[in-house]
Structure 1
């Protein structure tokens, strides 16, 4: 048993093993305070089959862990000749099956070594890209406390293409540190004829505890089952999962005999499993497939998170993919100028919350004129513009279950444009050129609004170019103003079907289309002033402009 912290739990575990007839040899990290070590010895002094080995410093990733294991294994074989198998555990490795069940399992496999041992080409769990290089480079510096020296020395060796020569006959293998070996196999490793040379080689390796026994066992073992009897799971960064009290049901279904690593304050786990029967009365059938799925789900949740949830522990980044918002929403560009009653009509048609221009420069136009929206979102443009992406994500997250829609145009703050364009949850409907309608209604001459019209057209043109780019993931529908007014009913019906496909749409009316007589002359005046209004399409002249379509009713089959 290798220990370095929470020695009170280590004492409890050692006593549990000893009470079931298993002798224990304990190594305590030299960096652990002497007072704690003395307390551990005092707590176990009444047990005759407990031994302690000389204390060595065991920095992570260094040979000290291997040397401590060697010393403990040598002491175990020398002092306890009746031992047939030796299992390596830590001070936080909790037996989750009865000890006699483990003993019976080993008795059925007297010649089998249980150790995870795979070649470097088959390893899929290592983090950092040092599968093979850990065997071919030198690692004299500690990764945790001498990180700059560690990285610099690795880069230097790569630059000069340095490569260590493997000891003759050694085939590199990797695997879990926690193994259970037969007595003959462990003796053969400790008494290897080339052990001095092999130890010198591994002393300059990185994380040798995952490769020393895993490689040498291939030379001396007669039967290997490449798996560990200890449940040890790691997250996407290579850090071990810690088991807490709320993992009790999960551990009861594990197909392993030991779980690493149990939190030292998980009183329920220790109280449940460290009983004479080891929780046998409450044990359920092992379900390793379910456990693996749960861990895979945990990794996915940790890496990708939940769509649209931005939090301190996981902030979505582009490299990890995923949606930027929590639910589908609609963005409407150019509809409000054409339909004075567009927002209340859309709210009725979709049964949704329809906002005004959320990204207007003067204020956030929440639905119904609210100044503070769900989640404490303020209508202050200063607060919104501090982080527009998070503002939109918060709005969608706080209103899950209710479809949100808002207006957007070239007169709004454009920093949010790439965000909504790249969001698969966004549905963007755009009528190009409608930005000119408020300029026409302002009563000012074409000469007075020409500069503003040119600016707005440039902004909208850039937005359309963005929507047609390869980075766009939103669903888009773009129509010119001329195309739209030819048949406004069809695109309006399509947007309702797209945003609420399961709704029972009975569109008996359309929003009232603005009377556009005189708008064609306004566009011509802009041309005469030197500005080319191209986004409106081939807009008809006043004489050709058709009257607004009558209220539209969807054709239905009547029996």
Structure 2
């Protein structure tokens, strides 16, 4: 008997669901299946009869599982209760759907979980820390009541939400509850799941979560935080969503992509993807690679696809994307460069950039305490003071004056989420003279190297991520006229020489293909684990890209000799 039990939520494609259930059972995993009550009885009975030969398979009492409603949670509770009651050897319970497909041998998943007997794998983050929610409801999903189904009763749903907002309704949270959100697809230990289902205040929790919007993404995610010994805030199921919050569907031509992910399970699989089912539902012992699941290998491909879908390609105009006529000229007199994240990632970046380009390179011109001019002088060209008060009185005029009074010498400066970038970020974004280069998430490096209390680090990381998320939306807006290049930190440090050469080439360096001196990168050993620690505490860092939990990406500029140029 396996130590892993499977709960399957099924509502369609019963032939594929039967195939996957038999795959789980063949590996010795007990399976409990819930079939949506909306499924006709004839289809349910036929499906149940087809699996009657499996001794360790059970069917749970049926609930109506309408999207965004309590029924999905009730179905999960009932199935989990049967699994825990009838299969005493189960130590981990894996929640899957009928459209989920195991990508790796089941025995490998069992061995992975047996090596982590007290670890719960459930994505769990507070709404204040992540911008996942789509549709205008984040914290309100926990403070308002949602008795109407969004899909069936859209008018009633919207009207009742508007009425509650007008009356300033605010629900009281049950004692000890801090709302968390995350993927519906989790893997919990018997101890944590039993504590949730057998809690003396379970009914109070159910009364509250019955009227929460999309409770299947918050009920277990919240209560697991009360009872789990150790949470890995990630799902072992690979699931991807587009910019509208709709799940990606995997087809036959995604076969190699799914193999590269090293994930244990993926959803949603197209029911007619014969090649995927034929390729993955083969549990050979020799196929056990025992590698850490790494969805980051394919995340960038999906991110690029979403970016292409949302923003299109430069110069390609489609019916859904027309250009907006520009208004006015450039607000500044000459080209200039803005660098975000480079000072955090590289040591002595300002001096290196000045040597390589001949620019006048400033520090953080919009730092909270003062404008950091070159060499930290108190006054620069045009008698412009480094006073933060004078600068913040009119930031647009401050920048325009600086560029005007230094015509003939290109200016460069650093900027980041710790700076006073409100008001000025839009002016820079709309300026065709601006060249903006961003390494997103690099602000986490100083936090990683600091010795501050981890609780303070988590709060600061959440604050900086919120600021940079909004800032990146500005830079990616259709009104942006600046030349903007954005790299995630993970993408940048994989091959930093190429983007540095690109930046130098745009600035106008004579020979951008020969980088005669490279800046020294900060030591990032252990950075991936630092990010995972933030996830485990409920803060989900996403702007820096995908760092593995292990040693993390190698800093390409640290362990290689500095490049040099030989001229004949």
TM-score (structure 2 length as normaliser): 0.55
Cα distance change on mapping 1:472 and 1:64 into 2, 3 Å? closer
Q: Which fold has the larger relative contact order, with Cα–Cα distance below 8 Å and residues 6 or more apart in sequence? A: 2
Q: Distance in 2 between matches of 1:40 and 1:222?
A: 38
CA displacement at 1:54 relative to structure 2 = 1.4
Which residue number in structure 2 is paired with residue 413 of structure 1?
Answer: none
Cα distance change on mapping 1:189 and 1:318 into 2, 3 Å? farther
1:161 partnered with 2:168: yes
Secondary structure of the equivalent of 1:243?
Answer: coil
1:92 partnered with 2:135: no
Q: Distance in 1 between matches of 2:262 and 2:35?
A: 29
Rg larger for: 1
1:23 partnered with 2:3: no
Which residue number in structure 2 is paired with residue 69 of structure 1?
Answer: 76
The more displaced of 289-298 and 45-54 is: 289-298
Which residue number in structure 2 is paired with residue 493 of structure 1?
Answer: none
Q: Distance in 1 between matches of 2:143 and 2:112?
A: 38
CA displacement at 1:293 relative to structure 2 = 0.7
Secondary structure of the equivalent of 2:261?
Answer: coil
Q: Distance in 2 between matches of 1:108 and 1:89?
A: 21
**1:468-524, CA deviations, whole angstroms, 9 ceiling, x for partnerless residues?**
xxx8979xxxxxxxxxxxxxxxxxxxxxxxxxxxxxxxxxxxxxxxxxxxxxxxxxx
Contact 1:92-1:263 within 8 A present in 2 as well:
yes
Secondary structure of the equivalent of 1:32?
Answer: coil
Which residue number in structure 1 is paired with residue 284 of structure 2?
Answer: 277
CA displacement at 1:39 relative to structure 2 = 1.9
Secondary structure of the equivalent of 1:30?
Answer: coil
Which residue number in structure 2 is paired with residue 252 of structure 1?
Answer: 259
Contact 2:105-2:288 within 8 A present in 1 as well:
no
Contact 1:123-1:174 within 8 A present in 2 as well:
no
Secondary structure of the equivalent of 1:89?
Answer: strand
Secondary structure of the equivalent of 2:111?
Answer: helix
Q: Distance in 2 between matches of 1:244 and 1:75?
A: 33
Q: Distance in 1 between matches of 2:261 and 2:290?
A: 10
Which residue number in structure 2 is paired with residue 11 of structure 1?
Answer: 18
1:217 partnered with 2:238: no
1:294 partnered with 2:301: yes
Q: Distance in 1 between matches of 2:34 and 2:202?
A: 21
Contact 2:261-2:296 within 8 A present in 1 as well:
no
Q: Distance in 2 between matches of 1:185 and 1:303?
A: 40
**1:284-318, CA deviations, whole angstroms, 9 ceiling, x for partnerless residues?**
99664331110100110111123344557xx1156
CA displacement at 1:33 relative to structure 2 = 1.8
Cα distance change on mapping 1:59 and 1:319 into 2, 3 Å? farther
Q: Distance in 2 between matches of 1:253 and 1:132?
A: 36
Q: Distance in 2 between matches of 1:288 and 1:65?
A: 26
Mind listing any 5+ residue stretches in structure 1 that lack a counterpart?
322-421, 425-470, 475-559
Cα distance change on mapping 1:273 and 1:320 into 2, 3 Å? farther
CA displacement at 1:276 relative to structure 2 = 2.4
**1:42-89, CA deviations, whole angstroms, 9 ceiling, x for partnerless residues?**
211110011001111111000000000000000000111111100100
Contact 1:232-1:260 within 8 A present in 2 as well:
yes
Aligned runs of 1:364-403 on 2, under 5 Å?
none
Secondary structure of the equivalent of 1:159?
Answer: helix
Cα distance change on mapping 1:179 and 1:284 into 2, 3 Å? closer
Which residue number in structure 1 is paired with residue 310 of structure 2?
Answer: 303
Pick from 83, 88, 100: which aligns with 1:81?
Answer: 88
**1:26-48, CA deviations, whole angstroms, 9 ceiling, x for partnerless residues?**
00001112222122112111100
Which residue number in structure 2 is paired with residue 495 of structure 1?
Answer: none
CA displacement at 1:138 relative to structure 2 = 0.3
Residues paired across the two proteins, number = 326
Contact 2:236-2:265 within 8 A present in 1 as well:
yes
Q: Distance in 1 between matches of 2:214 and 2:286?
A: 35
Which residue number in structure 2 is paired with residue 207 of structure 1?
Answer: 214
1:180 partnered with 2:187: yes
Contact 1:253-1:286 within 8 A present in 2 as well:
no
Cα distance change on mapping 1:318 and 1:195 into 2, 3 Å? farther
Contact 2:108-2:288 within 8 A present in 1 as well:
no
Cα distance change on mapping 1:302 and 1:167 into 2, 3 Å? same
Which residue number in structure 2 is paired with residue 316 of structure 1?
Answer: 321
CA displacement at 1:21 relative to structure 2 = 0.5
Query: Please, what is the CA RMSD of the aligned residues?
Result: 2.6
Contact 2:236-2:293 within 8 A present in 1 as well:
no
CA displacement at 1:320 relative to structure 2 = 13
Contact 1:234-1:240 within 8 A present in 2 as well:
yes
Secondary structure of the equivalent of 2:32?
Answer: strand
Contact 1:136-1:163 within 8 A present in 2 as well:
yes
Q: Distance in 2 between matches of 1:125 and 1:255?
A: 24
Q: Distance in 2 between matches of 1:297 and 1:271?
A: 29
**1:89-145, CA deviations, whole angstroms, 9 ceiling, x for partnerless residues?**
000010001101100000100000110111111122210231110000000111111
1:117 partnered with 2:124: yes
TM-score (structure 1 length as normaliser): 0.56
Cα distance change on mapping 1:311 and 1:280 into 2, 3 Å? farther
Q: Distance in 2 between matches of 1:127 and 1:472?
A: 23
Which residue number in structure 2 is paired with residue 130 of structure 1?
Answer: 137
Secondary structure of the equivalent of 2:93?
Answer: strand
Q: Distance in 2 between matches of 1:271 and 1:304?
A: 36
Which residue number in structure 1 is paired with residue 558 of structure 2?
Answer: none
Cα distance change on mapping 1:279 and 1:42 into 2, 3 Å? farther
Contact 2:104-2:283 within 8 A present in 1 as well:
no
Q: Distance in 2 between matches of 1:145 and 1:128?
A: 16
Cα distance change on mapping 1:318 and 1:156 into 2, 3 Å? farther
Aligned runs of 1:418-457 on 2, under 5 Å?
none
Q: Distance in 1 between matches of 2:28 and 2:222?
A: 30
Contact 1:65-1:209 within 8 A present in 2 as well:
yes
1:57 partnered with 2:64: yes
Contact 1:123-1:131 within 8 A present in 2 as well:
no
